[in-house]
Structure 1
Amino acid sequence: MALFGRGKRHGAASGEGCPDHKPCNKLAGIPLHDLDSRLRLVVTPIADLGSDSITAQLGGGLAALLVAMDLPGTGGAHAVPAHFTPRWNSAPPDLLARALGNMERDRVAIEALAGGNGGPALYVVTGQDGLPGAAHVLRLEQVLGQRLPHGALVAMPSNNRFYAVPIHSGDDLGLLDPLVSAVRGLAEQGPVLSQDAFWLHDGQLDPLNATVKNGELRYFPSDAFKQLLPQLRRDNAH
């Protein structure tokens, strides 16, 4: 699927029509043939987004924002405004899909913090080479190299890193408290995207609504997550 359609071509995306709009001016300086490979997704709080942003809603107050990366190694990124996309003869859903496809070529570091002797596994996934890593949660099965029919427990401390516990049995839920404690420990050092934990399934983050009550972590998950628990108990029984 070509990102740029068969319409009129230019050497670089024109900033004509919004000369005072800095995001458009930044994008205008990148040749169209180069922009294709620079598209990525960055996990961002919905509250920080503008009305003209191109996003895929993740749930839990977070979204995957379409950006064009700066030169390799600089780590900079420019949000792609929706009003800029007609110049490429492509719709926002196609651009989001292209960005996710580009990410398949990106390197990520995967660290296992638990999971020895076949027990529950907790992974930390971090972006490399100045490219954002958190949105790789959308391709978690590919990243971890395993099928996840029940999804995974996820924490999102930053737009470059996420924690994941694949759910294969009820035993994996035992890592939920350590997962929340890890991200809340990071929150004591500086801002995090979210201090909550999520159930990742079907490309969505379902908040587990972690709350400290009487000195203990308590969870108030959705009905959908509650319906998963009997299935996990049956799997454990086998």
Structure 2
Amino acid sequence: MLLAIDTSTDTASLALVEDSQMLAELTWCCGQNHTTTLLPQLTCLLDQSRLSLSAVSGIIVARGPGSFNGLRVGISTAKGLAFSLGVPLVGVSTLEAAAYQHAETGLPICPIFNAGRGEIATARYQMKGKQWLKLAGEHITTVDTLLLQISTKTVFCGELTLPIASQLKEYLKQKAIIPPPASRVRRAGFLAELGQKQLATGSYDSPTSLQPLYLRRPAITKPKHR
């Protein structure tokens, strides 16, 4: 049984999956209360599904980008569980997990998270045939810059604010496909599916070396030499 953990943003999610079958899933709005809600929610999920933590054979965790506190809590919990249970650990991009929920559209998918300072964290993915492709890696940019890079019909997902969604629609017109808010909520079941694919290839991370993916640019840079 695999346990998936996503505490990247104010929305958190847990899932238990076995042999590609969803056993249980829980998604909630935790705000900045990741530290106080994650373990109680995990206990609740296990109790309601009558499953035991000892049955977990692998852990998948969303590694960012996202909030500093949220990622720290989720990744440290995943590391601790993987170490104590002696099971493999896989870190998956939060942007990729958000995009994967819309893979069946067959269109390019552009997840967007607010990165602060007027910037966004984004990437682009697409399912072509049965192959899941990364078209553009995770990076920080602005909405204005992103708009200039979109030339074909694209699905926009993630935690879109109303101003960003309006800007996408106004500039891109019919090229911007924006799913309803409920279908954009990240679910750990999709995170588990991506992680399961990695585990099947024998690719996993070390609990001692897995690090969050923050993407944030440094606030202070060294002055250039004259």
TM-score interval, smaller chain: under 0.3
Of structures 1 and 2, the one scoring higher in RCO (CA 8 A, sep 6+) is 2
TM-score normalised by L of structure 1: 0.26
